[in-house]
Amino acid sequence: MLLHLSTWQEVEAYLQQSRGIIFPIGSTEQHGPTGLIGTDAICAEAIARGVGEATQAIVGPTINVGMALHHTAFPGSISLRPSTMILVLRDYITCLAKAGFTKFYFINGHGGNIATLKAAFSEIYAHLEDIQIPNAQRVQCQVGNWFMCGSVYKLAKELYGDQEGSHATPSEVAVTQFVYPEAIKQAPLSEEVATGHRIYGAADFRQKYPDGRMGSNPALATPEHGKQLYELAVKELSNGYLEFLNAD
Amino acid sequence: MLLHLSTWQEVEAYLQQSRGIIFPIGSTEQHGPTGLIGTDAICAEAIARGVGEATQAIVGPTINVGMALHHTAFPGSISLRPSTMILVLRDYITCLAKAGFTKFYFINGHGGNIATLKAAFSEIYAHLEDIQIPNAQRVQCQVGNWFMCGSVYKLAKELYGDQEGSHATPSEVAVTQFVYPEAIKQAPLSEEVATGHRIYGAADFRQKYPDGRMGSNPALATPEHGKQLYELAVKELSNGYLEFLNAD
Amino acid sequence: MLLHLSTWQEVEAYLQQSRGIIFPIGSTEQHGPTGLIGTDAICAEAIARGVGEATQAIVGPTINVGMALHHTAFPGSISLRPSTMILVLRDYITCLAKAGFTKFYFINGHGGNIATLKAAFSEIYAHLEDIQIPNAQRVQCQVGNWFMCGSVYKLAKELYGDQEGSHATPSEVAVTQFVYPEAIKQAPLSEEVATGHRIYGAADFRQKYPDGRMGSNPALATPEHGKQLYELAVKELSNGYLEFLNAD
Amino acid sequence: MLLHLSTWQEVEAYLQQSRGIIFPIGSTEQHGPTGLIGTDAICAEAIARGVGEATQAIVGPTINVGMALHHTAFPGSISLRPSTMILVLRDYITCLAKAGFTKFYFINGHGGNIATLKAAFSEIYAHLEDIQIPNAQRVQCQVGNWFMCGSVYKLAKELYGDQEGSHATPSEVAVTQFVYPEAIKQAPLSEEVATGHRIYGAADFRQKYPDGRMGSNPALATPEHGKQLYELAVKELSNGYLEFLNAD
Amino acid sequence: MLLHLSTWQEVEAYLQQSRGIIFPIGSTEQHGPTGLIGTDAICAEAIARGVGEATQAIVGPTINVGMALHHTAFPGSISLRPSTMILVLRDYITCLAKAGFTKFYFINGHGGNIATLKAAFSEIYAHLEDIQIPNAQRVQCQVGNWFMCGSVYKLAKELYGDQEGSHATPSEVAVTQFVYPEAIKQAPLSEEVATGHRIYGAADFRQKYPDGRMGSNPALATPEHGKQLYELAVKELSNGYLEFLNAD
Amino acid sequence: MLLHLSTWQEVEAYLQQSRGIIFPIGSTEQHGPTGLIGTDAICAEAIARGVGEATQAIVGPTINVGMALHHTAFPGSISLRPSTMILVLRDYITCLAKAGFTKFYFINGHGGNIATLKAAFSEIYAHLEDIQIPNAQRVQCQVGNWFMCGSVYKLAKELYGDQEGSHATPSEVAVTQFVYPEAIKQAPLSEEVATGHRIYGAADFRQKYPDGRMGSNPALATPEHGKQLYELAVKELSNGYLEFLNAD
Ligand code: NI
Ligand code: NI
Ligand code: NI
Ligand code: NI
Ligand code: NI
Ligand code: NI
């Protein structure tokens, strides 16, 4: 059930049976010469919708732009500041918590979002306590990173070994190929690829990772891999969501 | 050209020939018993993509959640605070202006966004001047409200007369029916519908507009109307975008 | 009744019979070679005091500095950022709403304030709900733009036709001449005057409107015109205020 | 020379000969049963204008609302939060410093403003350095508290002795009587008046100072006293301003 | 009793008998060629601990970094912006006020903190009222500046006369020598020392006070002086704290 | 070399040979019935000083209060909001980066700080770029969590096995016993201890972890263990710091 394709009366009815909502959260950032700028949002959205179907959960609109400041020296990348992203998440959750939602599950496609998501959750619990909404103490947030699912990680390693890398990975590219086969890109990829540098500011990142990839070989990706990875992620995160929903 | 389905190298190439980008901006808010919560985002996204195709412009990811605080007493509505939305837009435009974009065209599906968009633009021009990015003085932002297009307005009046109303209108519902025919909703609509009350806070709004509609009869909407309205909006806003792009 | 010339006990008594307050809001910005930098504040203040007398309403201190960032490339202009102005208005209204005021009527002299005022109102309604002041749901804000009054607009068109323009207009200059006849300015005005450019940042504005006027010929203004315009505005906004005050 | 009664070209000419500007800053707060809510702004404005005339300095619009949170349990009081007031002052000074002003002299009518003014100055110097305006290092701000002038203090002591008190004082009331003789108030004043309590929050303040006065007997005020106090303040602060203006 | 060396159960027990807490607040800023960068924090911490012992009060962790923007042109200085410091203090006091503390006593070692501390207190009282914690109206904050104690001031004058100066003073240096005799510094001190300049921005400060001292001769300091000054401060501030604690 | 026991001239000299600085960062939060509220700060401070000595690095003042909102239902806990902590770190690093420091190493004693530290680093890199300090691109921040050192973890497992738990652990308690043997606490500890609950808001945390421990048995701690753990942490983090310092 997609929030955007529902009416408020359907949401009202939904709240009679569940207090949970899933938000896909991605990023708008370079993913190397062949990866889509929307990769993280595309993966998160597709998987979140799969999880929504599997668990009868409502799925909110995709948060397309996340925390990707370190990618912004590449054109087309867009990022929220962490402090802005905290406010955005606070506003989302405040609205929905007032309406009765208490379980917020973020299906995340971007490693760079994790720290800010966690910081935001802490800020939000305190905020809800301060504005004294009735169910403030019951509000819970959790992140489910599809690319960190055990099953996904295992398959990615089998398929790609060390060439999985850590950004613009063949596994995330594969999922986007599965979702948008019409947008599969071809571009020359140098055999050597930068790897192992820590992440600091945007200019530094581009200098160290000149084509945007971090140790990955996205040329290995196929739509079929993407389908497999997608299905594993949906299955594992569906379990994750239900466990979260049903926990105290 | 969709930003999310492009690579950073494609964006780099695009910037050689154009400095413009289009952002669909909608809202996540109740639209009466039969209108989709995503109505404003769905319309803006579809029309923006049409405009993007017609004008060869790059289209950024849809801003799904806007300024809809007055709708938040209806479950499922989500809103940014105006002050948050200003920061979000500042972050978007700062990233892209640093990359070389100077013309930001927002195709907007929600009247409630207009004031905050305009406030944000002023804030952003000053911010870019303060951080002294090279092309700060050339950055320009504009809003194109599809529902205010002359041609759209005229057809809506012809089709629906006074029953167009001002929120959860048949014309916007029609566009969503055209875009998502699988999500056409049926629900009883009282013949009488509240109208004419000014908008203040969320609780006040729900009290005055108990089913969420403002003077509208969305039962008149058809997917065919939606198609017509969509096409008029695309045409008129394509002209609007090109004029904006080419102006000094 | 001017708030600044009242005591707190008089305000306490006033609140027994009315919950309304009027705030003049202007700007501190260039108004061409012959227009006063305080034009918008002067007009708003004079008219608001007239309305206060006509309606027995309390009139707060004039908000002298508004949102005029686009004028700040001309010396003497001062502007709040929209985000600052939102906070200022939030602070004003929070104090007064706690004291029992619920109807806030802003008599506005500057078009550039409108978007930020509206954004602020939305932010404030949500803020008051969050801090749970007893009458949060009853707080209502409205803007009355004196220069958009039908009667004012009609007279301005009769007197000045197209030479009214849209900034540093003869009608606003006339009102300041009526209020401060000792400050009528003489300066050469080029016959040609820039017009029709959209407003973006401050440097861009000054480049396009080099003497600060937007399509206007303020040399047509007279104090007598000012008196007429003033009286029309007072009458129309007095009705506007009373309607607002007495509405649900 | 009043900024609000000047044109931008007059300001441009002024900047050729002086970089200084004076801002009256007051407050909108209860001043006991007979003191005007605008007392602090009225005094600051009148004295600042006197100083402006005596020193040929430009005088900006009065900052009517300051930091008076501790008075807000009395109806009619309005206060900025300190954090808001810092932003307001930052916006003012940033605009004017970009235009070439470097010497900002605040003629202050309210003790409660002093701490926030000083905090704001520190914040602003750092801000101007960060945005790298050309003359950032030369910007200087200073507060001149009229009620702390040696000559004023001496006369107040002579006239009122211990009955001067520290809020709603006869000396400030006298100045308002001189400026607005038409607004002299009569109301019963208890002989006993609270005194000596420290200032904490608003509710605490009203409990400890139930009629709003702090140890003062404003019934002693006369317009003639007001005239004398006004003249002393103008003289002393004119010297203060010139010293500030001419210092390195 | 040091908060950091206590358990939460000890704090819970403490709250049965007292609602007061002491915070040492210093600064991290240059103190001339021989003064320690931590001088203000070291003095405040040592004295606060002495006061804590003398009065059985709990002493919170030292706030090491305060408002020292004007010192930041000297390497090693660190400062919070006033607006940041307000938020920090708000967070501290909100946490502790929720736990039941109502009397917050700041033993301060740095003149530059005073304005921001006072601004913060006002902001915090209003914040606590807004979030409606049960004892909001009872929360009280006070600053005790050790260097302004009458007894301290008197001894400093006796010992150093005019060579006390106003920054990097022999008295504060003496206290650090008493606390950290192992960190007594030797460095050439010019006989002439800058004095009498007002404080504006950081670059201006360093230009006017090139070695960082303001009119002081810290070479006069001895650890024995430090011990005397420390004892006087502890005694006087212990009285100050108890008076504050026991007042209404 | 402790920043607080240095002069600005010593810092100036230090910068000739190194651009690195170490900050201990802890927390002020409950650590169960026998753990000190300052545990995280105490451990971080002691270890950071050890690392400073081993590597000749300058060590800044301890950041005593971190992100511990989830502990604030226990009296004595103090926390910054994540958004506040981001500003604090931004202010620290901005000051020091202007002075020439580029390598910021945070020795962290509290897991709850990690997310906000990482979010802050991203925010700060962008901020420094915006204010265009000369060496913005070279600024790098890193966290070294002493309790995550491989050697520390291994010893803790050997000594305590599963009774190490995850909060108020015997290993951190042991380090505080080594540092402050005079503050070793005795209190009854239930044999059963809550474990395995996820962390959400403060009230929820206290309900699930009623005595504050998370799966730990701090009664196993001894000062001798503390010494061993301390030494391992110093050794491993000294290597970590030097590697960071010398990396590109
Ligand atoms: Ni990715
Ligand atoms: Ni709509
Ligand atoms: Ni105007
Ligand atoms: Ni006063
Ligand atoms: Ni000092
Ligand atoms: Ni710990």
DSSP string, A131-174: HT-TTGGG-EEEEEEGGG-HHHHHHHHHHHGGGG-SBS-HHHHH
HEC string for D207-224: HHCCCCCECCCHHHCCHH
Count how many residues are written for chain C. 248
d(CA D114, nearest CA chain C) in Å? 19
Helix axes F170-179, F39-55, angle to 10 degrees: 70
Q: Which residues contact F198 (CB under 8 A, 6 or more apart)?
A: A140, A142, A247
The residue-averaged pLDDT of E33-53 equals 98
Structural contact between residues D55 and D242, judged by C-beta atoms closer than 8 angstroms: yes
Structural contact between residues E170 and E216, judged by C-beta atoms closer than 8 angstroms: yes
Structural contact between residues A75 and A106, judged by C-beta atoms closer than 8 angstroms: no
**Nearest CB to E129; choose among D118, D128, D201:** D201
Ligand of minimum distance to the alpha carbon of A66:
1
B127: closest chain F residue by CA: F130
d(CA F17, nearest CA chain D) in Å? 27
Q: Do A126 and F201 touch (CB under 8 A)?
A: yes
Please give the Cα distance from E80 to E117 (Å, whole number). Answer: 12
Ligand of minimum distance to the alpha carbon of F145:
6
E131: closest chain C residue by CA: C131
Q: What order of strands is seen across the sheet that includes strand A58-59?
A: A58-59, A20-25, A103-108, A140-145
**Nearest CB to D123; choose among E81, E118, E142:** E81
* Residue B149 phi, psi (nearest 5): -60, 135
Q: Do E75 and F12 touch (CB under 8 A)?
A: yes
d(CA C189, nearest CA chain D) in Å? 12
Please give the Cα distance from F245 to F248 (Å, whole number). Answer: 8
**Nearest CB to D92; choose among C33, C78, C90:** C78
The H-or-E segment that residue B91 falls in is helix B82-99
Please give the Cα distance from C38 to C64 (Å, whole number). Answer: 8
Q: What is the number of alpha carbons within 13 Å of residue B39 lying toward its C-beta?
A: 33
Handedness of CA B57, B59, B60, B62 (dihedral sign): positive
Q: Contact partners of A by the rule of 3+ C-beta pairs under 8 A?
A: B, C, E, F
C-alpha distances (whole Å) from A108 to each of A47, A66, A170, E108, F222 are 9, 10, 17, 46, 42
Q: Which amino acid is at C12?
A: E
Residue A21: strand pairing partners? A58, A104
Binned at pLDDT 50, 70 and 90, residue E159 comes out as very high
Q: Any chain E CB within 8 A of the CB of F96?
A: yes
Structural contact between residues B68 and B27, judged by C-beta atoms closer than 8 angstroms: yes
Structural contact between residues E125 and D200, judged by C-beta atoms closer than 8 angstroms: yes
ipTM, two decimals, is: 0.98
Q: Where are the beta strands (DSSP E) in F26-162?
A: 58-59, 103-108, 140-145
Q: What are the tens digits of pLDDT across the range A132-191?
A: 999 999 999 999 999 999 999 999 999 999 999 999 999 999 999 999 999 999 999 999
SS3 assignment, position D145: strand
Taking contacts as CB-CB distances below 8 angstroms, the residues of chain F near B131 are 130-132
pLDDT under 70 in chain F at which residues?
none
Q: Any chain F CB within 8 A of the CB of A136?
A: yes
Binned at pLDDT 50, 70 and 90, residue D2 comes out as very high
Give the residue from B165, B221, B220 showing the smallest Cα distance to B194. Answer: B165
Question: What is the four-CA torsion angle of D166, D167, D170, D172, rounded to 10 degrees?
Answer: 110
Please give the Cα distance from E71 to E39 (Å, whole number). Answer: 13
Distance from Cα A169 to the centre of ligand 4, integer Å: 66
What pLDDT is stored for residue F106 in this prediction? Answer: 98
* Residue F141 phi, psi (nearest 5): -125, 145
What pLDDT is stored for residue D189 in this prediction? Answer: 96
Q: Any chain E CB within 8 A of the CB of C131?
A: yes
SS3 assignment, position E198: coil
d(CA B91, nearest CA chain D) in Å? 17
C-alpha distances (whole Å) from F195 to each of A178, D51, F214, F217 are 41, 70, 5, 11
C-alpha distances (whole Å) from B229 to each of A5, B43, B172 are 20, 10, 9
The residue-averaged pLDDT of A44-51 equals 98
Rg (CA), chain B: 18
Binned at pLDDT 50, 70 and 90, residue A126 comes out as very high
Give the residue from E214, E236, E107, E232 showing the smallest Cα distance to E164. Answer: E214
Q: Do D202 and E126 touch (CB under 8 A)?
A: yes
d(CA B31, nearest CA chain D) in Å? 36
Cα F239 vs. chain centroid, distance in angstroms? Answer: 17
Q: What are the tens digits of pLDDT across the range C95-138?
A: 999 999 999 999 999 999 999 999 999 999 999 999 999 999 99
The count of other CB atoms within 10 Å of the CB of residue D243 is: 10
Q: Which residues contact F66 (CB under 8 A, 6 or more apart)?
A: F25, F26, F27, F28, F40, F79, F80, F85, F110, F112, F113, F116
A99: closest chain B residue by CA: B75
Q: Any chain B CB within 8 A of the CB of A75?
A: yes
Q: What are the tens digits of pLDDT across the range D178-191?
A: 999 999 999 999 99
The residue-averaged pLDDT of C33-52 equals 98
Ligand of minimum distance to the alpha carbon of F212:
6
- What's the mean pLDDT when you consider all of chain D? 98
Structural contact between residues E223 and E177, judged by C-beta atoms closer than 8 angstroms: yes
Distance from Cα E68 to the centre of ligand 5, integer Å: 10
How is residue F24 annotated by DSSP? E
Q: What are the tens digits of pLDDT across the range F97-114?
A: 999 999 999 999 999 999
Residue D31: strand pairing partners? D35
Q: Contact partners of F by the rule of 3+ C-beta pairs under 8 A?
A: A, B, D, E
Which position has the token pair 């021989």? E34
Q: What percent of chain A has pLDDT over 90?
A: 99
Q: Any chain E CB within 8 A of the CB of D118?
A: yes
Q: Do A84 and B80 touch (CB under 8 A)?
A: no
Distance from Cα B114 to the centre of ligand 2, integer Å: 12
Q: Where are the beta strands (DSSP E) in D13-57?
A: 20-25
User: pLDDT in tens for each of the 248 residues of chain B?
Assistant: 999 999 999 999 999 999 999 999 999 999 999 999 999 999 999 999 999 999 999 999 999 999 999 999 999 999 999 999 999 999 999 999 999 999 999 999 999 999 999 999 999 999 999 999 999 999 999 999 999 999 999 999 999 999 999 999 999 999 999 999 999 999 999 999 999 999 999 999 999 999 999 999 999 999 999 999 999 999 999 999 999 999 99
Q: Any chain C CB within 8 A of the CB of E13?
A: no
d(CA D129, nearest CA chain F) in Å? 9
Please give the Cα distance from B139 to B99 (Å, whole number). Answer: 12
C 34-63 residues with CB < 8 A to D: 34-38, 41-42, 60-63
What pLDDT is stored for residue F143 in this prediction? Answer: 98
The residue-averaged pLDDT of A236-240 equals 98
Distance from Cα F66 to the centre of ligand 4, integer Å: 40
Please give the Cα distance from C51 to E5 (Å, whole number). Answer: 64
- What's the mean pLDDT when you consider all of chain A? 98
CA angle C42, C46, C51 (to 5 degrees): 145
Q: Do E7 and F185 touch (CB under 8 A)?
A: yes
> C96-100: long-range contacts at Cβ-Cβ below 8 A with a sequence spacing of 24 or more?
C96/C21, C96/D78, C97/C128, C97/C133, C97/C135, C97/C136, C97/C139, C98/C133, C98/D72, C99/C11, C99/C15, C99/D72, C99/D74, C99/D75, C99/D76, C99/D77, C100/C15, C100/C19, C100/C135, C100/D75
What pLDDT is stored for residue D37 in this prediction? Answer: 98
Give the residue from C222, C237, C197 showing the smallest Cα distance to C48. Answer: C237
Ligand of minimum distance to the alpha carbon of C173:
3
Binned at pLDDT 50, 70 and 90, residue C89 comes out as very high
Structural contact between residues B115 and C123, judged by C-beta atoms closer than 8 angstroms: no
Structural contact between residues C167 and C213, judged by C-beta atoms closer than 8 angstroms: yes
What pLDDT is stored for residue B79 in this prediction? Answer: 98
The count of other CB atoms within 10 Å of the CB of residue A126 is: 23
What pLDDT is stored for residue D65 in this prediction? Answer: 98
Q: Do E6 and F37 touch (CB under 8 A)?
A: yes
Structural contact between residues B120 and B83, judged by C-beta atoms closer than 8 angstroms: no
Q: Do D203 and E115 touch (CB under 8 A)?
A: no
Taking contacts as CB-CB distances below 8 angstroms, the residues of chain B near C119 are 67, 82, 86, 115-116, 119
What pLDDT is stored for residue B69 in this prediction? Answer: 98
Which position has the token pair 């739509």? A223
Distance from Cα D203 to the centre of ligand 3, integer Å: 41
